[in-house]
Amino acid sequence: MSRSSNNTQDIMPIPQGSEIHPRGLLEAISYIDQNFANELGGCIIHARFLTTKQRLEFMEVGFRSAFASGLVSALLTPVAIGVIERYIPMFGNADPSLFDKFSAFMLALGFSLGYAIFMAKTATCYIGKYTRAMITNLLGGMAFGAILKAVVAFIAFHFVYFKVLSDGNVSWAVSKLYHASLSEKTVAAIFNWVQGFKNVFLTSAYFILVSTAIFILIPLIAMIYAYFRNRKLIAAGLINVEAYKG
């Protein structure tokens, strides 16, 4: 890149017609990767070139990806907890082994954990304020989507526990089974199973709160790590200080 007469780097503007408008998560990450490569090459793009509309688009992409995928993981959580608590057989075994419990645990947490680690890599892809603004808005949208998902799941699971599976509703449903010519022993077994299994929803509600906190913290820690990494590279002379300041 050319330098101005005062020996400072030029600020690279965004060419007309080349505005970024992410429509999906992979597209947003691609824009971040491309501009990170430019910054590594010494190109400076001022953070103000990322317009309010574009910032909202990054937030929207982050929100949609975290909320939709988070709801799927939330729905799988009671199943996983049910396996661990021996209410649901896994692989046909009513007494799950350590491997079965680990598989159930990964069913509940694996996707969110993998997603968070994937985003942690993206969170380190910045030097100047332009890419940092992209990442901040993307992660901000993801955090908001994850928190909203956790709140919805927390309320929904408590509603199932206190309202849907209340003693009155369970007794009514079991009485219908009794009148359907099921044996008294079978009806009692079903009643006891439901009474025990409904506690899984309370456990799942608090598990989701913890997993959501982990989901948010992993990329955030990665971004903080990148900040100190950049400072070390600046001190070693491997990154232009002006480019870092953006």
Instruction: Please choose, from the candidates 130, 124, 204, 210, the residue with its C-alpha nearest in 3D space to the C-alpha of residue 160.
Output: 204
| pLDDT band, residue 245 (cuts 50/70/90) | low
Residue 156: other Cβ atoms inside 10 A: 18
Where does residue 114 rank: exposed (0-12), middle (13-18), buried (19+ CB within 10 A)? exposed
Q: What is the pLDDT of residues 143-191, one digit of tens each?
A: 999 999 999 999 999 999 999 999 899 888 888 877 777 778 888 888 8
**Which pLDDT score is estimated for 104?**
84
The single residue listed with the structure tokens 């993981």 is: 73
CA nearest 130: which of 32, 220, 205, 2?
32
**Model confidence, pTM:** 0.84
- pLDDT of residue 134 exceeding 60, the answer is yes
